[in-house]
């Protein structure tokens, strides 16, 4: 019987796992009965002729009696049959869990008054403690953080239609004006948001850099965008699209120091810079971006590793989505997140730039 080829594509400057290394990592996942690895591969037992998902609770086989495959079809082609206990050809327990939470989220979105944890548990017919753990494990955020983000979305939608901020606040589920100002993360005062952000001013500067062109934009709170590209006009257009109602003014001289610091970060990744940031995103995006800032230069993490670090091993796709939505290139180093096999994957500013950044960081780490 022949196992599937586990070799991965080669990416210059990125270490790739040899087949033996990949099998060793898969073996460790089987030993841990890792549900997070379900769907990544399956394993087959030579003595029984059965193949299983990594989290299968069956008695563990010896390492030398086991073979790994990329998917059930490859295992069946090699002559193995599916396990009747873990049913590797159907939806995994993890997928059932994701579906259950997805249905609960849809119910939350349909409710007029956002429910608390007890009400959610009663609707899901689960204990509050178990629901809280299941919800966070699946989405990476707590039910309270999810409903808070939904309340904010309702506020943002309502501010443009309501006759007053107070009316929009109560309609969105805020119980008082003080709660609104303490909890709403709009990036500006609610009244300014209701007016389309017209009272907000964003200054920006553009300059050549080793990666092409870089734009650095700053609000009254701090740097709110770092964009990479080849065309200065396109970068400015991207900024205006992100802040359509704000007054975006190019002031190269005023932002000279901040711009120079960002360019220095490209040339000297380990130097580090301390600049005030105005990071706007959902509760989960904020958590992902904070995790990315903890990855040292010269090192990488897989999307799954980032999800696990957030105690949300099932939220791999959500982590990838947060990386794609990152508005602060370099300062929030989403380029340090790669695929599990060591290959590069999507980078909103281009895979070539991602490769250049990782190669620079790896070279500087080796020289340190």
- From 52, 209, 224, 323, the catalytic residue: 52
**The one catalytic residue among 209, 224, 323, 334:** 334
- Residue 248 known to bind ligand: no
Cβ count near 270 (within 10 Å): 13
Sheet holding 247-250, edge to edge: 223-229, 212-218, 201-209, 247-250
Residue 364 and residue 358 in contact, taking contact as beta carbons nearer than 8 Å: no
Angle at 294 between CA 289 and CA 295, to 5 degrees: 100
Q: Which residues contact 106 (CB under 8 A, 6 or more apart)?
A: none
Q: Is 224 annotated as a binding residue?
A: no
- Asked whether the beta carbons of 101 and 134 are under 8 A apart, the reply is yes
Report the b/e string of 273-299 with b at 16+ CB within 10 A: eebebbbbbbbbbbbbbebbeebebbe
Please confirm, yes or no, whether 248 is among the known catalytic residues: no
Nearest of 344, 320, 204 to residue 262 by alpha carbon: 204
Whether 220 contacts 277, CB under 8 Å: no
Q: Is 105 annotated as a binding residue?
A: no
SS3 call for 209: strand
Q: What is the C-alpha separation between 292 and 339, in angstroms, rounded?
A: 15
Tokens matching residue 170: 């109560």
The three-point CA angle 151-156-160 to 5° equals 140
Question: Residue 196 and residue 231: Cα distance in Å, rounded?
Answer: 28
Q: Summarize the annotated binding site for Zn(2+) as residue ranges.
A: 52, 56, 83, 86
Catalytic residue positions, numbered? 52, 334
Q: Summarize the annotated binding site as residue ranges.
A: 52, 56, 83, 86
């Amino acid at each position: 019987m022949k196992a599937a080829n586990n070799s991965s594509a080669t990416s210059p400057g990125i270490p790739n796992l040899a087949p033996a290394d990949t099998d060793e990592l898969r073996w460790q996942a089987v030993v841990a009965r890792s549900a997070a690895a379900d769907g990544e591969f399956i394993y087959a037992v030579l003595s029984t002729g059965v193949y299983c998902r990594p989290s299968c609770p069956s008695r563990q086989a010896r390492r030398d009696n086991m073979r790994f495959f990329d998917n059930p079809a490859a295992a069946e082609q090699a002559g193995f049959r599916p396990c009747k206990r873990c049913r590797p050809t159907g939806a995994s327990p993890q997928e059932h869990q994701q579906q259950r939470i997805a249905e609960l989220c849809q119910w939350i979105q349909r409710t007029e008054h956002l429910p608390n944890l007890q009400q959610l548990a009663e609707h899901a017919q689960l204990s509050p403690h178990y629901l809280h753990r299941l919800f966070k494990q699946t989405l990476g955020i707590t039910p309270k953080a999810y409903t808070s983000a939904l309340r904010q979305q309702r506020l943002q939608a309502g501010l443009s239609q309501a006759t007053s901020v107070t009316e929009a606040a109560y309609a969105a589920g805020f119980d008082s004006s003080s709660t609104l100002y303490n909890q709403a993360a709009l990036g500006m005062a609610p009244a300014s948001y209701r007016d389309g952000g017209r009272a907000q001013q964003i200054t920006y500067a553009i300059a050549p850099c080793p990666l092409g062109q870089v734009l650095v934009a700053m609000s009254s709170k701090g740097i709110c965008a770092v964009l990479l590209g080849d065309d200065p006009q396109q970068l400015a257009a991207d900024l205006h699209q992100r802040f359509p109602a704000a007054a975006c003014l190019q002031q190269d001289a005023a932002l000279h120091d901040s711009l120079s610091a960002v360019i220095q970060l490209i040339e000297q990744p380990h130097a580090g810079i301390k600049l005030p940031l105005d990071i706007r995103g959902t509760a989960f995006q904020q958590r992902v971006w904070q995790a990315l800032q903890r990855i040292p230069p010269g090192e990488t993490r897989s999307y799954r590793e980032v999800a696990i670090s957030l105690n949300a091993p099932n939220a791999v796709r959500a982590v990838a989505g947060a990386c794609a939505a990152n508005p602060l290139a370099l300062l929030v180093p989403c380029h340090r997140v790669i695929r599990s096999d060591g290959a590069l994957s999507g980078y909103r500013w281009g895979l070539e730039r991602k490769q250049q950044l990782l190669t620079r960081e790896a070279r500087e780490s080796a020289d340190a």
